[in-house]
């Protein structure tokens, strides 16, 4: 468990750092694509959401949510990701939807920093965002 302090700009900078963001998203996509067919199925995406911790951050879901309600929610999320209704989520769909979600989180956070307890998990986008900011802060800024 690590505690990170993030605000809207932390998340926004991460999303706007094109190459870094794409690399991070592609990494998680590859991990979620369990059968390596290049697309995410309904169950692969659900598993992903459970490990990416986006639910807690964005949807405010907690552990007491009844399973059937949770399933409906995951279905709704899948429909959102599957823009072309092909029944699977491809890399482009995944990337653009993650981007929207993270920007929505950024808007929600605004400019007041909050402390978030994240499990030490390289899959977490918010962790990645915090890491990126930390790595930038460590670089001495030249005048």
Q: Which residues contact 102 (CB under 8 A, 6 or more apart)?
A: 11, 14, 15, 125, 129
By beta-carbon proximity to Ca ion, the closer residue of 37 and 84 is 37
Q: What are the residues binding Ca ion (CB under 5 A)?
A: 33, 35, 37
Q: DSSP readout, 1-49? A: -EEEEE-HHHHHHHHH-HHHHHHHHHHHHHHH-TT-SSEE-HHHHHHHH
Structure tokens at 128: 């990645």
By beta-carbon proximity to Ca ion, the closer residue of 44 and 133 is 44
By beta-carbon proximity to Ca ion, the closer residue of 31 and 99 is 31
The owner of tokens 């001495």 is: 140
Q: In angstroms, what is the minimal distance from the CB of 32 to Ca ion?
A: 8
- Rounded Cα gap, residues 57 and 40, in angstroms: 22
Q: In angstroms, what is the minimal distance from the CB of 129 to Ca ion?
A: 26
By beta-carbon proximity to Ca ion, the closer residue of 33 and 131 is 33
Strands of 67-106, DSSP E: 89-90
């Amino acid at each position: 468990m690590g505690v990170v302090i993030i605000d809207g700009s932390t998340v926004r900078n991460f999303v706007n750092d094109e190459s870094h963001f794409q690399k991070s998203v592609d990494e998680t996509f590859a991990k979620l694509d369990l059968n390596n067919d290049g697309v995410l199925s309904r169950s692969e995406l659900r598993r992903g959401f459970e490990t990416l911790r986006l639910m807690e951050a964005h949807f405010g879901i907690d552990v007491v949510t009844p399973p059937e309600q949770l399933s409906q929610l995951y279905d709704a999320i899948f429909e959102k990701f599957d823009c072309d209704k092909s029944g699977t989520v491809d890399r482009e769909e995944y990337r653009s939807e993650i981007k929207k979600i993270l920007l929505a989180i950024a808007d929600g956070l605004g400019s007041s920093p909050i402390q978030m307890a994240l499990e030490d998990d390289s899959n977490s986008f918010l962790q990645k965002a915090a890491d990126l900011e930390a790595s930038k802060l460590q670089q001495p800024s030249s005048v």
